[in-house]
Amino acid sequence: MPTLRQRLVTAMGNISPLVVLFFLCVACSLLTYVIPGGAFERKSVEVMGQLREIVVPGSFHYVPSVPQGFAELWTVFMRGAVEAADRSFVILLSAGAMTAVIATGAIDAAIHGIVRRTGRFGIAFIPIIVFALGACGASIGMYEEAIPFILVITPLMLTMGYDSMSAVFVMYWSIAIGFACGVTNPYTVTIGQALAGVPLYSGSGYRVVCFVVMMTLTTVVIMRYAGRVHRAPRCPRLLRERARRDRRSRRTRDARRLGVEHRPRRVPHVGCPARGSDLRPRARWWVPSATWSDAATRRVRSQAALQASVARSAS
C-alpha cells in the first residue's frame, strides 16, 4: 500500500511542467497587488568597450506599483518568448543537431559498446561526465546548450543499471555547479570583474580549488545515490519505469502480431536496465509512435482479416 508521501510524489510527477509554469505566473501576478513597487537609480559605465547600466548603491526608492492583470498574464508567455528568443534558438538548434545524430544510430551503438567493454566499472563514467560538463560551464559558460545532452546521458545511465533521476542529477547538477564555480566564465567572471574594476581573471587559483572541491562533492553525492539505486532494483521508481517499459513493449508486440508496419520514433525512453556484472544493453531507443486504443485495435484486426481473406481467395 503506497504511503501518502508516495502518492503525493506520484501525483506531482504527473503534472505537466507547463501547468507548473502557468501557476507560478498566476502567483507572481497576484503578488504584484500586494508587494509595493521599488526601483534603483542606474548609471552607464563602459565595460569592455560597451556601455552597460549598473545599479547605484543606496539609491533604492519606492515607486508606484504596476499590478499585472489578466491582459498582462495572458501575454506573458509570448513576451517571454520574444525576450528570450536567443536562448530558445540555441536550445532548439542544439536539440535538433543531437536528434539528427541520434537518428543515425551511432550513439546507440556507442553506448552499447561502452557498456559491453566496461562491465561493472561503468560507474566510473559518472565522475568523467560530471567533471566534463562542469568544466564546460566553468570555462565557456555553457548552460542552456547542455540541455540536449540529456538525450545521450539518460540511455547511458539506464543501460548501466541506474534510474532516470541519476541521469538528471549528472546532467543538471554538474552544469549548474560548474557554472557557479566559473574559472573563466565570460558571464560571471569576465563581465563581473570588469564591472568591479579588478584585474581580469584575478583569483583564478582560488576558483580552480573551489571548482575541484565542489565537483568532487557533487560526484560523491551522485555516485552514492546511483549506488543505492543499483543495489535496490525493486525501488518504486524502477518498478514504475519497468511497468512503463512493459506497456510499450506490449504495444509493439501487438503491432507486430497484427501484421502492421511499425516505425517507432528514435528517442530514448525510461526503462529498467540490466544490473550486476552482466550489464547487457537492454535499454531501447524507441517508443511506440502511437497509443493503441480499442477502436484502433479493432480496425487493425479487421484490416488484417480482410487481407487474409483476399490472400486465401487469390490462392
| Positive/negative CA dihedral, 109, 112, 116, 121 | positive
β-pairing, 50-55 vs 42-47, is antiparallel
Buried b (16+ CB within 10 A) or exposed e, 71-87: eebeebeeeeeeeeeee
Round to whole Å and give the CA distance between 42 and 9: 45
Look at residue 218 in the predicted model and tell me its pLDDT: 94
Per-run averaged pLDDT (10 residues), the chain, 315 residues: 73 81 91 92 81 86 89 86 83 80 78 72 84 90 83 82 85 91 87 82 90 94 87 64 63 58 42 38 37 52 67 65
Round to whole Å and give the CA distance between 159 and 107: 13
Are 265 and 103 in contact, with CB atoms under 8 Å apart? no
Look at residue 89 in the predicted model and tell me its pLDDT: 83
Are 94 and 145 in contact, with CB atoms under 8 Å apart? yes
Are 234 and 279 in contact, with CB atoms under 8 Å apart? no
pTM: 0.62
Percentage of the chain surpassing pLDDT 70? 71
Are 287 and 264 in contact, with CB atoms under 8 Å apart? yes
Look at residue 142 in the predicted model and tell me its pLDDT: 86
